[in-house]
Chain A
């Protein structure tokens, strides 16, 4: 018998849910109660269990797809028993025993009186259907709107960024560092693939040690040290923004930081929910150097007090005494929460970052 698996009502606001990954493949046996896939709702990443014993025959909503409650996500073939008059399986039914199949009861086929609703109105939660039947908006549950839908992670990022820009009084400081030393160190390293970000995290962690106020958050009538020793690195994965938190960077080498960052980004790519979880850091780095952008300003990532925007390393003509030299330089722009530190304090912090970067 063909059992159609529908997306359960697991989102808290009736919004769309993203399929993160499937834990079983078509052709594999599944058991009632076994985690079958991972989804990302508006609130959490979670596993969804199979409700029948059988064989996963078809994945209708692959990883990356966005679905709403009631959408078909998979087909499971249940051995034995015809569709009608089937008995309910017992929760203890062993996988080897010929599994009984549950009645193919869905909200549509149950006795519930939703007559008068259209096929489309049957999508989404019972409440969404009722709203739709009553001519009320079901906008949050609809994915058929024109335009580009945002993923759950993108929506969270959008809200956080908006709140940050609206409530944090930002000011911006610009500087640049000579990258001669950096380039030389990277070229000399045995691992030619050292990530540039690792050098910047390393330098910022050293500067931060001398400027503890930069690692505080604003708490109405006082400042609170942020309970984290991590530094975050902003990562853009196909338009989704994440921040990888590197713990205790001041104790680590550039090589170690580079490895750790690379592993974290790989974990993000596989959809690992632990890696995707938001973790607080003391400060975030955003590096657009690879795009060739010269300089930019970034939005503070709350509860942090500052974010460092890093541009491309480019050859620049610099007057040196009476002469003029050409050297590789990198532009740095520090966005700062003025409730936490003064302009002068932040300027000295930025100068310390430049120093650390230029140190041989």
Chain B
């Protein structure tokens, strides 16, 4: 079983030339959109404008953007409690997400899902599943449906390193393996499940190695290199569509924020944080774009400003958006 590990930007600079410039700039915009969305939501939470807690993905933007950019609009993803980035990457609008976070009836789940359950089936995203590893059997089941119907669709199933030791991982992954289902298991290995570091819960910390024991291919990828993630996902999707699924992608990344807004994150050692800060996915991709001559500092700043305006507009609208009424209490509720 192959495992590859891309070194920072070495492959990306050359990889960049293989893509359409407009596509690359859109990738960059998506990365920035996720980062700024998360940063603004953090302050809305601190201000008290948003109820509940939130799980954010600052630092992990390239996994979501790289994977989703390799998928077709009718391909599906499953997500977790940390789903804002996956949603933006899969094409949900900032407005339907922001409305959902404000609990508005115009939100992507009509205000009943909230931060941990964002999704939109029409856009290929099953609402987030907050049970750790809960999306894995579900993704296998969806992919079985695709296979039985003879469609070319694939499922990319996002989960964290914390999901790998759950029973549901074994059950779902094994099913997908024996039936060669079109599912890409995307493990975002950010080194921590809540406050627990991976080496405390795994004797073999290379998660992609697990694939071999089920008889399919696994690959470890630099998850902070958006083009490396994109390429790896394209290869995996092709294999799945050709009937050679599933594939396990382990994307190495790092969370630059607490597990949830209530977590002060004291357990991440300072030197580790600093080392990963130098591998920030957005800064790295900006460097790739500059080196390839596709965007100068001014062009990148314009992207940031446009994204900022889009989010500001969405927040203003979400504050005024209608809340669900008592009459909506039992609609869309199954249990």
Q: How many of A's residues come within 8 Å of B, CB to CB?
A: 36
Q: Other CB < 8 Å A-B pairs besides A9-B53, A32-B43, A111-B320, 12 of them?
A: A8-B46, A11-B262, A12-B262, A44-B262, A88-B315, A88-B316, A91-B43, A92-B308, A106-B47, A111-B323, A126-B52, A127-B51
Residue among B40, B47, B319 with max Cβ neighbours from chain A (10 Å): B47
Q: Which of B36, B47, B52 contacts A102 (CB 8 A)?
A: B47
The smallest C-beta distance from A41 to any residue of chain B, in angstroms, reads 7
Are B264 and A110 in contact, CB atoms less than 8 angstroms apart?
no
Knowing A105-B47, A107-B49, the reply to whether A10 touches B315 (Cβ < 8 A) is no
Are B45 and A91 in contact, CB atoms less than 8 angstroms apart?
no
Q: Which residues 192-207 of B have a CB within 8 angstroms of A?
A: none
Interface residue B39 (Cβ < 8 Å from any Cβ of A): yes
Knowing A88-B315, A103-B319, A125-B51, the reply to whether A41 touches B46 (Cβ < 8 A) is no
6 residue pairs bridging A and B, Cβ less than 8 Å apart: A8-B45, A9-B48, A90-B312, A110-B49, A111-B321, A112-B323
Q: Report the nearest A residue to B261, measured CB to CB.
A: A10
Q: Which residues 11-67 of B have a CB within 8 angstroms of A?
A: 36, 39-40, 43, 45-49, 51-53
Q: Report the nearest A residue to B36, measured CB to CB.
A: A91
Are B266 and A9 in contact, CB atoms less than 8 angstroms apart?
no
Interface residue A153 (Cβ < 8 Å from any Cβ of B): no
Q: A49 to B321: give the CA distance in the assembly, Å.
A: 27
Q: Report the nearest B residue to A91, measured CB to CB.
A: B39
Are A44 and B264 in contact, CB atoms less than 8 angstroms apart?
yes
The smallest C-beta distance from B115 to any residue of chain A, in angstroms, reads 12
Taken residue by residue from 44 to 60, chain A's Cβ proximity to chain B (1 for < 8 Å, 0 otherwise) reads as 11111101000000000
**Which A residues are CB-close (under 8 A) to B304?**
92
Are A91 and B40 in contact, CB atoms less than 8 angstroms apart?
yes
**Which A residues are CB-close (under 8 A) to B40?**
88, 91
Interface residue A185 (Cβ < 8 Å from any Cβ of B): no
List chain B positions with a Cβ less than 8 A from chain A: 36, 39-40, 43, 45-49, 51-53, 103, 261-264, 266, 304, 308, 312, 315-316, 319-323, 325
Q: Report the nearest B residue to A47, measured CB to CB.
A: B264
The smallest C-beta distance from B27 to any residue of chain A, in angstroms, reads 21
Knowing A88-B316, A90-B308, the reply to whether A106 touches B48 (Cβ < 8 A) is yes
**Which B residues are CB-close (under 8 A) to A11?**
262
Are B323 and A69 in contact, CB atoms less than 8 angstroms apart?
no
Are B48 and A6 in contact, CB atoms less than 8 angstroms apart?
yes
Q: Which of B48, B53, B263, B312 contacts A88 (CB 8 A)?
A: B312
Interface residue A43 (Cβ < 8 Å from any Cβ of B): yes
Taken residue by residue from 96 to 118, chain A's Cβ proximity to chain B (1 for < 8 Å, 0 otherwise) reads as 00000011011100111100000
The smallest C-beta distance from A220 to any residue of chain B, in angstroms, reads 20
